[in-house]
């Protein structure tokens, strides 16, 4: 049976802790979970027909009255029909956002037509891990710097992403493989996170920008000790290119700089 919805109306689901609808490819909408106060995990991965995220999960006045304080994990992996990820819900009584304040892990990978994250994403105050791989997101909201508990951010294969703004001091890891349009990463002086950048289509100007910014903030030459595996062949390729262009005094600065950066010590 190709079910498009689970049930109508609101069900009293006091004991419900896990909802796993993985590969429910014909599901077009989720039910109202506002009376599931112990719900901890929702997995709607690969629900390719799902277009909207239910407000009863993310923001609803009823969640407060139900003491809905347990939801920690949301996975919308490969929901290719998902266009937006709303975080606001207004009604005639209030303009205050209400949502699960304990959400720690959000997965929006392969939501291929998702192009925007909400400007107020920082209200996910407990979020620790955010992954939006293979999405169409072009930029990250500036408010992400206020997500004081965010530790890991995975942006790999976001081919339209152009820049990464200032990240919160809590960040431990940034992964951005194959972000072919990425040209700017904001770096603060006391940066303490690991950045994994790479991919065969990574622009040389991003490497230059990253190193230049690091030098400005840290004060002094950056000592590059290890490059991603995807760049293992880069030294040879740059060396070969430099040899070809050796007689040309107008060789691109990016090639010259990158050669100096990755040359063997």
Confidence of residue 95 (pLDDT cuts 50, 70, 90): very low
Could you tell me which of 156, 165, 155 has the C-alpha nearest to residue 185?
165
Confidence of residue 232 (pLDDT cuts 50, 70, 90): low
Handedness of CA 42, 43, 47, 53 (dihedral sign): positive
- Residue 166: pLDDT over 60: yes
User: Domain 18-233 - what CATH class?
Assistant: alpha beta
Percent over 90 (pLDDT), the chain: 15
Judge contact between 45 and 79, C-beta under 8 A: yes
Look at residue 149 in the predicted model and tell me its pLDDT. 93
- Residue 23: pLDDT over 60: yes
Q: Cα(147)–Cα(173) distance, rounded to whole angstroms?
A: 14
Q: Cα(94)–Cα(144) distance, rounded to whole angstroms?
A: 25
- Mean pLDDT across 106-124: 88
For the chain, the structural domain boundaries read 18-233, 234-265
Mean of all residue pLDDT scores within the chain:
72
Q: Cα(210)–Cα(241) distance, rounded to whole angstroms?
A: 22
Look at residue 75 in the predicted model and tell me its pLDDT. 76
Q: How does pLDDT run across 180-219, given as a tens digit for each residue?
A: 888 888 866 565 667 776 655 555 556 666 666 666 655 5
Confidence of residue 136 (pLDDT cuts 50, 70, 90): very high
Look at residue 92 in the predicted model and tell me its pLDDT. 34
């Amino acid at each position: 049976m190709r079910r498009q919805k689970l049930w109508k109306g609101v069900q009293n689901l006091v004991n419900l802790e896990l909802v796993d609808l993985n590969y429910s490819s014909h599901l077009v909408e989720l039910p109202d979970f506002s009376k599931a106060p112990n719900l901890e995990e929702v997995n709607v991965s690969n629900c390719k027909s799902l277009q909207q995220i239910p407000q009863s999960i993310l923001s609803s006045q009823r969640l407060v009255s139900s003491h809905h304080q347990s939801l920690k994990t949301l996975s919308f992996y490969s929901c290719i029909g998902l266009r937006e990820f709303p975080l606001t819900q207004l009604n005639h009584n209030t303009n205050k956002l209400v949502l699960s304040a304990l959400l720690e892990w959000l997965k929006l990978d392969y939501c291929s037509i998702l192009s925007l994250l909400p400007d107020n994403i920082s209200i996910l105050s407990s979020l620790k891990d955010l992954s939006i791989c293979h999405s169409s997101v072009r930029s990250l909201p500036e408010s992400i710097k206020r997500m004081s508990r965010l530790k890991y951010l995975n942006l790999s294969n976001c081919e339209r992403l152009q820049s990464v703004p200032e990240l919160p001091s809590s960040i431990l890891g940034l992964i951005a493989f194959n972000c072919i349009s990425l040209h700017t990463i904001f770096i603060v002086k006391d940066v303490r996170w690991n950045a994994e950048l790479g991919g065969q289509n990574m622009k040389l100007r991003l490497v230059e920008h990253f190193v230049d910014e690091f030098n400005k903030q840290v004060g002094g030459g950056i000592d590059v000790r290890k490059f991603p595996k995807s760049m293992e062949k880069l030294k040879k390729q740059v060396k070969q290119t430099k040899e070809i262009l050796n007689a040309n005094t107008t060789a691109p600065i990016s090639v010259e700089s990158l050669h100096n950066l990755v040359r063997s010590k």
